[in-house]
Chains A and B, each alone.
Chain A
Amino acid sequence: MTGWQRIFYALLAPAAALVAAIAISALVLGLSGHNPISAYGDMLEYARRDESIVSIVNRAIPLYIAALAVALGFKMNLFNIGVEGQYRLAALFAAWLGAEVSLPAPLHVSFLLLVAVVVGAVWAGIAAVLRTWRGVSEVISTIMLNSIAVGVAAYLFRTYFKAPQREGSLLESTEPLPASARLPGFDLPFGDARTQVWGFLFIAIALGIGYYVLIWRTRFGFDLRASGANASAARASGVNPARMILFTLLLSGAVAGLVGMPQLLGSTFKYDNAFQAGIGFTGIGVALLGRNNPAGMAVGALLFSFLDRSSQILDLQDIPREVVAIMQGTILLSAVVAYEVVRRMADRAEVKAAASRLAETRSGPGGLSPAGAGGTA
């Protein structure tokens, strides 16, 4: 396949998924008596405001980190559904310990990040140990660990980590982080938004670059991709599968631990019962949408957070904003279907191309050549 063909097939699937999702959502809107075109127009218009841009970028940061965590597992056929539980516990511990200790600013932030990374890795480590030692599928164990994390977090929070409640306040939370543990934000270089972009953006970008380097530019990444693509071949070439599984799940959990940090260090500064949930699951969608590609996942995260943000304007138009949840679900489902369909198309095209090349070489004077006959996408 030529490079252009490859790019065409790579972009065909997300484009088709987006079109399908827009069409299905338009149908849903239309059936419930709303004008889809004006609704979409309003959403786009609203998203262009300066405040919206800041909010979209901010919301995309945790989604992107969650997607990176999931993608690390995907690269070697491991499914870490447990990001949700890993980041919840990590955020709780970081919020609590961060308020307990006092350190100079850069050290304090690093300490919090370290706590989050360790807690996330430990929680994922349970699934990793069960998988390598007892052969328990990480899919099931991480689903169970998600629910266990919710219970454990609720227990620790209520019993030990909660700050004494202020008079007349209904909201329970941990002690707010001191100024030294907060990560400063920055203004948009254009416009005059009243809100700031979280400084965590740079950490997220660094994580994305780190992910790329690790997966495509290191020995470990090569082993990891090899194990994902063909486990028995990788083993035959000397890769220890148990160790790879252990490392990958621990790494995935460590990254997942950071998912709650942008919010904690950039906006809420404390953990409470309303701490944002569900990013782990949306992150799976983003990873699938972006095909585990660091740039693709960034686009996916921005798309999902654009939908989240622009849903706010729908409320004012008397359109239930929940249509956005349908859009996200349909985008995800049509994306995975589209990838599969396009993969089959590409396979067929390749087989056809190979067959015609083979026919050419046979009829030519050089006789039969094995080149070009092998290899699939």
Chain B
Amino acid sequence: MTTTQPEPAGVVPTAPQASAAGRPTRTPIGSASRILLVAAGLFVLLSLIATVTDSPDLTSSGTFGASLRLAVPIGLAGLGGLWAERAGVVNIGLEGMMILGTWFGAWAGWKYGVWWGVPAAVLGGAAGGLVHAIATVTFGVDHIVSGVAINILGGGVTRYLGSLVFTADTGGSASLSPGVRGRIGTFTMPFLSGGDLFGWQTPDILGRIERWDWVVLSDVAGLGRGLTRDVSYLTLIAIALVPITWYLLWRTAFGLRLRSVGENPTAADSLGVPVYRFKYIAVVVSGALAGLGGAVLSIEAARVYREGQVAGRGFIGLAALIFGNWRPGGLAAGSAFFGFTDALQLRDPGSVHALLLFVAVAAGLLALVAARRGVLLRSGIIFVVGMLFLVWFLVQDSVPAQFVAITPYVATLLVLGVFSQRLRPPAADGVRWRKGEHT
């Protein structure tokens, strides 16, 4: 998706180097250590604000655990988007593919047991991806158009199948499946969070530290405990898929070819890369990942299929992808952030209010950094936004639930508006490409 379009649409990017111009030395996301430092700083800030505003749930292990569970479906959808868009195919059909995943996962989970639901959901999503690939790659249909059609189709197919399969005598209905059989197990880290080790219950060290209620230290323990306690195996698989995707796409010849197809298909073609085949692989994998994200929703979180369960998470995944600048680490961070706001809203709506102060202070700091770099306009905008949040924090004592629900979308729009010049989508993202047509 050509997000940064200085030119009106219709201009075919021909020069691969063109996008590298501008800031050759600094990539939009800097070195790993810098990111870690910023993340640690933000965490300390969060911890201080939790103390100052007396909202301990802001950094409790329960909140972080819930954030992880909520972030996983978003992250899987985002990873799906990453695969497709890195190969130059925009996939806004993620939502429809996730819907297919929820349905097929719940269906197989109910029929054959919960773990059968996982491959079924993956295949269901992949089928959606295959349709998208056939339409966009073979027939050259506009990517957005095909995605819209798949979203309509995903809802229609599942509703139809639901009314055929989940009949009244199975205890379900067209829009509600019977419960899945069995459960996805969970894992708790021994010693750190009190998991079992060969039948011996180890001490819950992080839990103890969390209860001390020391600034920062207890909050760090809360984070650690939230991420290591009662984590489902499906979540572990999903988390593992982030580094696996990074490795496959950025450290193997396969990944280099796949990304080259998304940057400059004509050049890739001239070097003998089978462009169509790579696009097909990428889009089918994209659907499979979205389907897995659907499985997390239906067979793990709700343990049934319910119509409307996906509730726009495919689009939030897309938002996370853009938020994360089309990089696996970035989109994981974006999903974590979106999952965090969701979790706060569900657990303790009051603590969302404290988050306003966090945003205000963080924006103030960001404005300072921007001012020191001399980008005064951006600094000013960020500062004003931060002040607005501060006023909001002071004037009202709660944040309406609807506003929390739209946080991911607003955040993405802000990121696009402020950082659009530094975002770097694949150069040939969304471009219809036919072998031999572009010379």
Contact = CB atoms under 8 A, between A and B. Distances in A.
B410 interface: yes
A323 B318 contact: no
Given A78-B9, A144-B413, A281-B152, A336 B159 contact: no
A285 B147 CA distance: 11
A131 B4 CA distance: 9
Nearest to A326: B156
B218 interface: no
Interface of A: 28, 32, 76-79, 81, 126, 130-131, 134-137, 139-141, 143-145, 147-148, 150-152, 154-155, 158-159, 227-232, 235, 241, 244-245, 281-282, 284-285, 288, 320, 322-326, 328-330, 332-333, 336-337, 340-341
Given A151-B405, A330-B153, A322 B163 contact: yes
Nearest to B152: A329
Contacts of B156: 322, 324-326, 328-329
Interface in B20-60: none
Interface in B412-435: 412-413, 416-417, 420-421
B164 interface: yes
- For the complex, would chain A's binding face be called helix, strand, loop or mixed by DSSP majority? helix
Nearest to A338: B139
B180 interface: no
Given A227-B8, A322-B156, A322-B163, A147 B315 contact: yes
Given A148-B413, A325-B159, 16 more contacts: A134-B417, A136-B420, A140-B322, A140-B416, A143-B315, A144-B412, A147-B315, A231-B7, A232-B7, A284-B145, A322-B163, A326-B157, A329-B150, A336-B135, A336-B146, A337-B141
Contacts of B421: 134-135
B144 interface: yes
Contact of B8 (A32, A77, A328, A330): A77
B164 A32 contact: yes
B418 to A, nearest CB: 8
Interface of B: 1-11, 90, 92, 131, 135, 139-142, 144-146, 148-153, 155-157, 159-160, 162-164, 174, 312, 315, 318-319, 322, 400, 402-403, 405-406, 409-410, 412-413, 416-417, 420-421
B160 A141 contact: no
Given A32-B164, A136-B417, A281-B152, A151 B8 contact: no
Contacts of B141: 333, 336-337, 340
Contacts of A324: 156
Most chain A CB within a 10 A radius of its CB, from B92, B139, B140, B410? B139
A330 B154 CA distance: 11
Contacts of A326: 153, 156-157, 160
Given A28-B160, A140-B1, A227-B8, A285 B153 contact: no
Nearest to A328: B152
A263 B245 CA distance: 48
A257 B238 CA distance: 41
A227 to B, nearest CB: 6
Given A144-B412, A151-B402, A320-B164, A341 B155 contact: no
A143 B318 contact: yes
Contacts of A284: 145, 148
Nearest to B148: A284
A121 to B, nearest CB: 18
Contacts of A152: 402, 406
Given A134-B420, A144-B413, A341 B149 contact: no
B209 to A, nearest CB: 37
B8 to A, nearest CB: 4
A331 B164 CA distance: 22
Contacts of A330: 153
A227 B10 CA distance: 9
A232 B149 contact: no
A323 B174 CA distance: 12
19 contacts: A32-B164, A77-B10, A135-B4, A136-B4, A136-B416, A141-B413, A143-B92, A147-B315, A155-B400, A158-B402, A232-B7, A245-B8, A284-B148, A320-B160, A322-B162, A326-B157, A329-B152, A332-B148, A336-B135
